[in-house]
Structure 1
Amino acid sequence: MSLSTFTRRAALAALALTFLASPTLAEERLKINIGYAAIGLDNRPYAEGTSAATARAGEYLEKEFGNDPNIKIEWFFFKGAGPAVNEAFANNQLDFAYQGDLPSLIGRANGLKTKYLLASGARKPLYLAVAKDADIKAVAELKGKKVAYQRGTNGHLAAIKILEANGLTEKDIQVINLDSAGTVAALTSQDIDAAFGDTTLINLASKGNAKVIYTTKGDDPRFGRNAGIIGREDFINQHPEITQRIVDAFVRAAQWSSDEPNRATLFELWHKSGTPVPILEDYFSNDKLAYRNSPLIDDLLVSQYEEQGVKAKEFGLIRRDVSVEGWFEPKYLKASLEKLGLQNFWQAYGANGKPLGS
């Protein structure tokens, strides 16, 4: 054997030993991309009002995988909300995401292969605010007015359902498609007459720049909005154990977010999004934390998604029928509830909006 041949072989052998001895080289690092269909004030990478927001701000997923050097958690917040999350899923840029009901159903109707793993931000109320000088006192008085909401979001579908309940359709109003920041600016300048939204509108009204005239809170729970954690089907099938740990972390965040003694601390944590604590207190007033932060895939949630699918097509938001059969995947949630001893921690609700067993 020539010296040069021996040297090359020795070098290759040394390289192989280095590769085997180094876990960072022997095993490719797995980056888990988590999307959130919202963004904080001034584009802060935080949100509020959901257990998923708690998971982010409290670093629940990062702590779950803290002893796994080959796994990295990365969060992405989308100003474009649910529609932007769908685009990211379509390009295989996300593995999991917090997303509202309408956009996730639109994604399913368009062939996105996802699974619904647990609720997060279920039964969120929607608010209607009008310009400070507007003489509008009821939903029915929106006819012919400029009304803002963000198209393609769960707030969009909830707004249409509210209009319908008050004898109106989208054709009866001038729809202005704006995100939350744009809505605040337009409502403050009174370039629009009214807007549907949530905490940003409460905050605007608290400053005297708008008036909240209606909320779904205390009204028919079917007028509210739902959201949850969606997972990319390919990732779930390839990494079931990691998926289970992801769900475990979200469930832990939901448990902590549901404990009433944590209410003040919870709002401080969500304040990382830029939303003032008093606004969050107002947003959750008269609601039990466990009611709003339940991860359960119960009959009410499933029936709401079924109805949303029907309504979305009826209102022309989806062109084809969309079925939720086989979409909900509760086995990971069930395993988490059993592992953490939380089988009876949250109240399940029936399709009629009433507690099961009552």
Structure 2
Amino acid sequence: MIRFTRRALAAVTLALALAPAVARAEPVTIRFGFASIGTDNRPFAGGSAAALAHSEHYVEEALKDEPGVTVAWSFFKGAGPAVNEAFANGQLDFAFQGDLPSVIGRASGLKTKIVLATGAHAPLYLAVPPNSTISSVKDLKGKKVSIFRGTNNHLAAVKVLAANGLTERDLSVLNMDVATTNAALASGDIDAAFGNFGLISLEQQGRARIVYSTKGDDPAFERQAGVLVTEAFEKAHPDLVAKVVKALVQASHFASDEANRDKVLAIWARSGTPDSVYRFDYADQPLRTRNSPIIDPFLVEQYRVQARQARAYGLIRRDVDVAGWFEPRYLDRALKELGLETRWPRLGPDGKPLS
């Protein structure tokens, strides 16, 4: 009888955890942050499946049968460092963030879980004023160069410099956000800038010239990113985490279909960045490479390497252990329920496809 009672109690507990939100004692607002913001502070982002999920209301649709549950989206001009501050102040439950700021947040004691990838395998660009004589990374010695510190552009730039025999100390590095960098580059107040697709827009306007890209270079120079959830929210609302992750996987599926390329680029253009910029950024890369949600050995290894190199380059002051940081069970469940278990390739630690 005692054994039966315990089993019955366990069954009831599980049923309550999976029950519809009508049984929730209090309303829940899911606070989702983006380490990005649109042109002129538009509340939109682009370039990732998470951005598409926001624009097309995937998460809201997944929660439509959950009375009392709403979603609030925040976009941060200060990118990853600003997201970490919001996490630290208890203002976010989920966030889309690059690898380095996520590592910095973990080194600072933030309690989060990485539940899926999005916007991974992204390239880094080096741009200079149109009339500049700089033609390669090696030409940057002694130059004024913008690097947005604390973002996933930062560590990628440090690694590119190292591969060319340089360190940040060989340059006059200026810490500038995207808007400030674009203005300074266009006016010629700086000699060069490392950044992402925002630099493409300047080149297309004739206000800058891209002289280097990590495309086709060492995969270790790629920028990774993912979606994080706080441990507190995940513990309190595992059912909601499952629904959010499933919605993001559905967005990833749509954003990975080559038949949808034009639609995806047009949706991202709501951020104020022209679709031609995203077309350039995604050129020569399959959509499913950049929009894969998969947590595979390659992604985990890249975060491990980022943590180690961030420590070696003095970007963090303590070692970061990635063991236990990734929580793939929600992703695996979503892939199974949606029949997408083989939709995206899984890579080994060396970046080669697993059999």
Both proteins in one fold, TM over 0.5: yes
Q: Which residue of 2 aligns with 1:62?
A: 60
Q: Which residue of 1 aligns with 2:302?
A: 304
- The correspondence for 2:252, drawn from 251, 254, 279, is 254
- The correspondence for 1:266, drawn from 264, 274, 283, is 264
For residue 132 of structure 1, report the CA deviation from its aligned partner: 1.2
Alignment of 1:21-60 (within 5 A): 27-60=25-58
For residue 258 of structure 1, report the CA deviation from its aligned partner: 0.3
Contact kept? 1:27, 1:70, Cα under 8 Å = no
Contact kept? 2:128, 2:193, Cα under 8 Å = yes
- The correspondence for 2:164, drawn from 148, 163, 166, is 166
> Alpha carbon RMSD of aligned pairs, Å?
1.3
Contact kept? 2:156, 2:221, Cα under 8 Å = yes
Superposed CA offset, 1:246-299 (max 9, x none): 100111110100011000000010011011011111110010000000001111
Contact kept? 2:296, 2:346, Cα under 8 Å = yes
1:169 aligned partner, one-letter code: T
Please give the alpha-carbon distance, in whole angstroms, between the structure 2 residues aligned to 1:251 and 1:324.
23
Contact kept? 1:222, 1:353, Cα under 8 Å = no
Alignment of 1:1-358 (within 5 A): 27-357=25-355
Cα distance change on mapping 1:176 and 1:25 into 2, 3 Å = same
Q: What's the secondary structure of 2:184's corresponding residue? A: helix
1:67 aligned partner, one-letter code: D
1:209 aligned partner, one-letter code: R
2:68 aligned partner, one-letter code: N
Contact kept? 1:30, 1:71, Cα under 8 Å = yes
Please give the alpha-carbon distance, in whole angstroms, between the structure 2 residues aligned to 1:165 and 1:150.
19
Number of equivalent positions: 335
Contact kept? 1:46, 1:273, Cα under 8 Å = yes
Q: What's the secondary structure of 1:263's corresponding residue? A: helix
Contact kept? 1:82, 1:103, Cα under 8 Å = yes
Contact kept? 1:126, 1:197, Cα under 8 Å = yes
Q: Which residue of 1 aligns with 2:14?
A: none
Superposed CA offset, 1:30-63 (max 9, x none): 1110000010110011111111101111111111
Cα distance change on mapping 1:173 and 1:26 into 2, 3 Å = closer
Please give the alpha-carbon distance, in whole angstroms, between the structure 2 residues aligned to 1:255 and 1:247.
12
Contact kept? 2:96, 2:227, Cα under 8 Å = yes
Q: What's the secondary structure of 1:117's corresponding residue? A: strand
Contact kept? 2:127, 2:192, Cα under 8 Å = yes
For residue 218 of structure 1, report the CA deviation from its aligned partner: 1.4
For residue 229 of structure 1, report the CA deviation from its aligned partner: 0.3
Q: Show structure 2 runs of 5+ residues with no match.
A: 1-20
Superposed CA offset, 1:56-100 (max 9, x none): 111111111122230000100000111111111111110000011
Cα distance change on mapping 1:344 and 1:25 into 2, 3 Å = closer
Please give the alpha-carbon distance, in whole angstroms, between the structure 1 residues aligned to 2:210 and 2:149.
21
Cα distance change on mapping 1:34 and 1:133 into 2, 3 Å = same
Q: Which residue of 2 aligns with 1:10?
A: none
Contact kept? 1:34, 1:95, Cα under 8 Å = yes
Q: What's the secondary structure of 1:116's corresponding residue? A: strand
Contact kept? 1:147, 1:192, Cα under 8 Å = yes
Percent identity between matched residues is 53
Cα distance change on mapping 1:154 and 1:34 into 2, 3 Å = same
1:131 aligned partner, one-letter code: P
Q: Show structure 1 runs of 5+ residues with no match.
A: 1-22
Contact kept? 2:22, 2:66, Cα under 8 Å = no
For residue 196 of structure 1, report the CA deviation from its aligned partner: 0.8
Contact kept? 2:29, 2:71, Cα under 8 Å = yes
Please give the alpha-carbon distance, in whole angstroms, between the structure 2 residues aligned to 1:96 and 1:203.
29
Cα distance change on mapping 1:26 and 1:109 into 2, 3 Å = closer
